[in-house]
Structures are given as C-alpha cells and as structure tokens.
Structure 1
Amino acid sequence: MKFTVVGAGAMGLRYGVLLQEAGNEVEFVDAWQPHVEKMKEQGGVYVKRDHENRHLVPVKVFYPEEYQNTDADVLVFFLKQMQLADMLERCKHFFTADQYVLTAMNGMGHVDKLLNYFKPEKLLAGTALVATVLDGPGEVDFIGKPGAGTMNLANYTEQPDEMTHKVVAELQKANFNPTLTTNFQGTLMAKVVFNSVVNTLCTLFEITMGEYAAFAKADELSVALINEAYDVCERAGIEMINTRQEELESVNYVSKVANPLHYPSMYQDMSKNRPTEVDYINGYLVELGRKYHYEAHTHAFLTNLVHLAEHTRQHKA
C-alpha cells in the first residue's frame, strides 16, 4: 500500500517511518523549510528510541508545491490544527476522488476542514496515545518500546469497508495496536478529554506525564476535568467509547506506565514559544458546552491560563 504523510513532524514521522518499515511505500510532504532541507541533505531522518540508538532512516520528502504524485492509496494528515487549512489548500493538486484519508490529530476542528476536500466515506479519523518528540530539523525520538501506545479509529460514516480493514491491518503490522470502532464522535472525543487533562496541566506546570501522575491529588484534578468534559458530551448527545472511570484509568496508565518521561506536545509547543492547540482541546469543550447552555468553567479557566502563559513567555522572549 502507498501512503503519503502530510506533516512530517513528530507524529507524522513516527507513523510514516513505521509504516515504511512494515513494507509500505511512504512519501512525506512538509512545509517547514529547515526540516525539509535537513532531511534532503542527509538523505532521511535520524531516528532514536527513548534517546538511544540514533540511526538514519531514508525517507522521501517534498514541499507541497513540488509534490506531484497522485497515486497514494491513503493520505495521512498530522498537523497542528491551526496549520491544516493552509496546508490543504497548498496540497489540493495531488488529491484524487479515490484516495482515503487517515488522521489522528490532536484536538477538534480538523474533520470539517478535511471534508471540504474528501468524500465522507473515505475519511478515517482517530486518536493516538503515542509519544514522540521532534528534537529538531531531521531528528525525531520515538518514546516507548516498540509496540508501546495504542490508537482508536473509525470511519466518518461509521460503516467500515474493505479498504478500512486493509488500513487497520497495515497499522497493526506497524505496531500501532489499532482498534476499529463504529462510534466516530465518541472515538475522537476520548482523546480530546485525555489531552484536556494531561497536555494542559503538564504544560502549565512544565512537568512530565509521570510527574503529574505522581502528585497525590492528581486523580482529584483529573476527575474534575473528566466529569466536566463528559457533562458537555452528554448534553451534545455524544456517546463516549469509555466510561468516566475508564477515561481516568487511561490517563493514569499512559502517564504512569506507558509514557511517564514524556512531555506532551502542548508543552513542546509552549517551550518553543509556538502557539498551543488549547483552543482546539479545552477551548473546544468550552464552546461545545455553551452551544448546549452549559458552562465548562474549569476548562475555560485552564484555557485562559494557557493563553496567559503564552502571552507571558512571548513578552519575555
């Protein structure tokens, strides 16, 4: 199978490299010039796992405007929410009506943008509990042992077809431990809720997931945010794939066992003075709640705190 990965950041590289190692043909499209130029210069990307065994993995990488191949079976999108609209417009010349789309981006907002370019029955979206760090141009670190992490995905139509099962099979070969569901909104919202706890709190206090989980009152904080998020989802008529207790257990397992040394992606953005995706995570829950006359006060407070931290760092830079 041929995959074109749009967005060769930390997660795009992890998915693309492992799909390539599983026997698929993979090409990458990215717009960050230092990163693209470095990979072209060195003939690939240097990959580490848990900071060790640095080695060069050959990859084919292109800028959006220079990529002309239209033969991909599946386009994989891994971008920041605020980058997606521009990238879609820059890449539309290699989209075809037959291509499937796979995405496991953080936050919410990407599905509506993708549906402007692709058929609903071709869209697979999900969540990835996989930790990866882009150390710099041409350098990526896969966090966790091979096979660490899981993902859930669903068809937008909630009707898996033959191609869906083929994609899931390739993801399994690549060690992503995929679970196919038939609950599209509930699948996506599970990761939004997870990130609204771990990403946001770890970012504000500049700590790893394990450091957060080790705090004596961590469960109390997690439960407050999970309950408020689930109250929003119930009012919106979204059936979640996890119970509230299962969502707490997911937060604790990933933070304590799977990736305790990991700084979430929101922290990575904040630490480099890049805009965070908090408006697409906690902020999304706030706006969804207001649509149904419910105020998610705690999520609103955290959204504003993240923006305050962004504002403060930018003025000190």
Structure 2
Amino acid sequence: MILMEFAMIGAGAMGLRYGILLQEAGNDVTFIDTWEPHIDKIRDQGGVYVSRDHQNRHLTPIKLETPESYSGDPDMFIFFTKQMQLQDYLDRCAHFFNDHSYAFTAMNGMGHIEKLQRYFADDKIIAGTALIATVLNGPGDVDFMGKRGAGKMNMANFTEQPDEMTHRLFDELEKAQMHPTLTTNFKGTLMTKVIFNSVINTLCTMFEIQMGELGNFPKAYDLGRQLIDEAYDICERAGIQLVSTREEEMTALDINTRIDMPLHYPSMYQDMIHDRPTEVDYINGYIADLGRQYHYEAKTHRFLTNLVHLAEYHRANEKAAHEAASIQAATSTAS
C-alpha cells in the first residue's frame, strides 16, 4: 500500500537521501531535476547508485522527471535545491502547483521561505532542518554518510499550527528513520541550524578540511563561540527564540565535528571544490544582514562571508590560469 505521494524537487545529495528513504518506507516518490548530466546518467543506468560510507554500492531504481515533463498532483512537494537555484526551479515548476499543494523543505540557509510563499499558502508550508550528511559523488552516484538511522531533524509549520498533513509527513519521516522532532517555533527552528552551519560549513570550506579536523583544533571552541555569540545576540534583538541555548549549540558543534561526522566535508565545501557557488550569503551573510536590521554589526560573520568569496575567487583564478596554460602548451606542441 502506498502511504503518501511525494514530488522531490531537486535530486541532489539531500534530495536523493530523503526521497530514496521515503521510497523504501513504502511511499511513491518522483524526483524532479534540471541538471542534464545527472538526468542522462540516471536514465542510462536505470537508477541511482547508492553507497553508505563508501561501501555496499548498489543501483536503486527511481522515477525521474524534469519540471517540464512532470504533471502529477502529489500529497507533498519536497524542496532540496541550493538557495541560488530555488527561484529557477519554482518558475519552471509553477504550472503544476495548485491551491491545495503542500511544500516541505529542509534546505540550508535562509531566504527560501519568502520565495515559497509566492507559490504556496502559509498554512501549507512546512520547513525543517537536517543534521544529516550526504555526498553526491557525481551524476547518478550518491553516498549516505553514517549508519542507517544516523542523523536527526527538526520541522515546524509556518503558521506554527501542525495540521493532519504535517502529522502524516512526520510519521513517514519517522518510518524513514530521519528522527524528526516537531516544534511550534518556526523561525527559531530554522535559525538555530543556520547558526550551526555558520560555524562548521564556513570554516571547513575556507580551509578545505574535514569536520573532525576542525573539531579537534585546540582553539575550535574559541572560534565557534565568537560566531555563536554574535548570532545569538542578533536573534535576541530580533525577538527570535532559538530552540537551543548557546551552550547547547556549542555542545552540538563539538559532538557533530569530533564524534558523529569527523570524516565528513560539509556541503559548502563540496560546492566550492566542484566550482559551484557557495551558499555563504544565505548563512553567514544572512546573519550579518539581519544584524544590521537591528543595529548590530556582526563583524566576524561579515568577515567570514567575504573570506569564503575570496576563496571562491582564488579557485576561479587558479582554474582559469591552469586552462590558459594548458591551451598554451597545446598550441606550442602543435606548432
């Protein structure tokens, strides 16, 4: 018996993890993506190759459509795109949204909720945060990090009033071993994860290190505490009640880096090394911009935002120089 019907918009690392585990739990899942090499590879091989911690690689059949080819009416749309990709996906998918459509997302960063509100009613928007590590190795090839059942997530309704559909989604996520917690604190739930990512994602990306190397650095607490304190000061001024205290957030950072996922590279790092734009503007940059709204200058978050962009700029220049040298060498050889 099919329990729920989902349309997973964005078949990247996290979209595949959520979608495949929901599919394995008995739900009907259709993936919708726009990256042509990924689409072609999945169709050619008849599904997605799935590993767990680099082991037991196996082919998992999935249903895959593009925004233009999909015409379903699922119980729930789930969004797992990058922040900078979301608007294009929404524009291309708008023809199959309707007034009874529900949207759920656990994307990194902030800025996506305002975009979803243009297409979905407030009482049909559910958002969450995920402490779940996944790596897209390449087109049609994903690696679920951590043993089955590893990780956890929070979720909340935009209206902070859970309805029947919210509880159905919660139950299916629980069956898929995502370990959800349902809260009635929408903004605080999302911002707590943004603050978490503003430490781990940014620092690991800048120095191209695994989370464990950051966690074992003798001054890791000092680095994290400075960023945490700035962000919590801003949230207090903005009237945002976070779902963990400063000390609980510091403890979560320590456990995740040193114990739970020491070998993991955060998603921001994965974007940078693959020459994709990072989401730093939607994480540290968002915190800094929020601070200015409340007359608080988050100097450390602003500084780190610019440093990540410097790292991106440096990699782009190195790549261009390497390509130019390769062309020059090929031209010289031909001559």
Q: In which range does the TM-score fall when normalised by the shorter chain? A: over 0.9
Q: Which residue of the partner structure matches residue 51 of structure 1? A: 54
Q: Which residue of the partner structure matches residue 65 of structure 1? A: 68
Query: What is the CA–CA distance in structure 2 between the aligned matches of 1:252 and 1:113, rounded to whole Å?
Result: 33
Q: CA deviation at 1:129?
A: 0.4
Q: Which residue of the partner structure matches residue 24 of structure 2? A: 21
Q: Which residue of the partner structure matches residue 327 of structure 2? A: none
User: Which is further off, 251-260 or 73-82?
Assistant: 251-260
Local SS of the residue matching 1:219: helix
Q: Which residue of the partner structure matches residue 296 of structure 1? A: 298
Consecutive unaligned residues in structure 1, runs of 5 or more? none
Q: Is 2:44 the counterpart of 1:41?
A: yes
Q: Which residue of the partner structure matches residue 240 of structure 1? A: 242
Q: Is 2:101 the counterpart of 1:103?
A: no
**For residues 125-274 of structure 1, what are the structure 2 equivalents within 5 Å?**
125-274=127-276
Q: CA deviation at 1:255?
A: 1.2
Q: CA deviation at 1:60?
A: 0.5
Tell me the matched-pair count. Answer: 316
Query: What is the CA–CA distance in structure 1 between the aligned matches of 2:189 and 2:14, rounded to whole Å?
Result: 19
TM-score (normalised: structure 2): 0.94
Q: CA deviation at 1:96?
A: 1.9
User: Which residue among 276, 279, 282 is the counterpart of 1:280?
Assistant: 282
Task: Give identity over the alignment, percent.
Answer: 64
Query: What is the CA–CA distance in structure 2 between the aligned matches of 1:219 and 1:202, rounded to whole Å?
Result: 14
Q: CA deviation at 1:257?
A: 1.8
Query: What is the CA–CA distance in structure 2 between the aligned matches of 1:185 and 1:121, rounded to whole Å?
Result: 15
Local SS of the residue matching 2:68: helix
User: Which is further off, 89-98 or 171-180?
Assistant: 89-98
Query: What is the CA–CA distance in structure 2 between the aligned matches of 1:198 and 1:55, rounded to whole Å?
Result: 30
Local SS of the residue matching 2:100: coil
Q: CA deviation at 1:97?
A: 1.6
Q: CA deviation at 1:100?
A: 1.3
**Runs of 4+ in structure 1 displaced over 6 angstroms?**
none
Q: CA deviation at 1:53?
A: 0.2
Query: What is the CA–CA distance in structure 2 between the aligned matches of 1:131 and 1:99, rounded to whole Å?
Result: 28
Q: CA deviation at 1:163?
A: 1.1
Q: CA deviation at 1:250?
A: 1.1
Q: CA deviation at 1:193?
A: 0.2
Local SS of the residue matching 1:75: strand
Letter in 2 for 1:201: L
Q: Which residue of the partner structure matches residue 309 of structure 1? A: 311
Consecutive unaligned residues in structure 2, runs of 5 or more? 320-335
Q: Quick check: which has more Rg, 1 or 2?
A: 2
Local SS of the residue matching 1:118: coil
For residues 27-50 of structure 1, what are the alpha-carbon distances to aligned partners after superposition, in whole Å with 9 as ceiling and x for unaligned?
A: 000000000111111111000000
For residues 243-301 of structure 1, what are the alpha-carbon distances to aligned partners after superposition, in whole Å with 9 as ceiling and x for unaligned?
A: 00011111111112221110000000111111100000000000000011100000000
Q: Which residue of the partner structure matches residue 94 of structure 2? A: 92
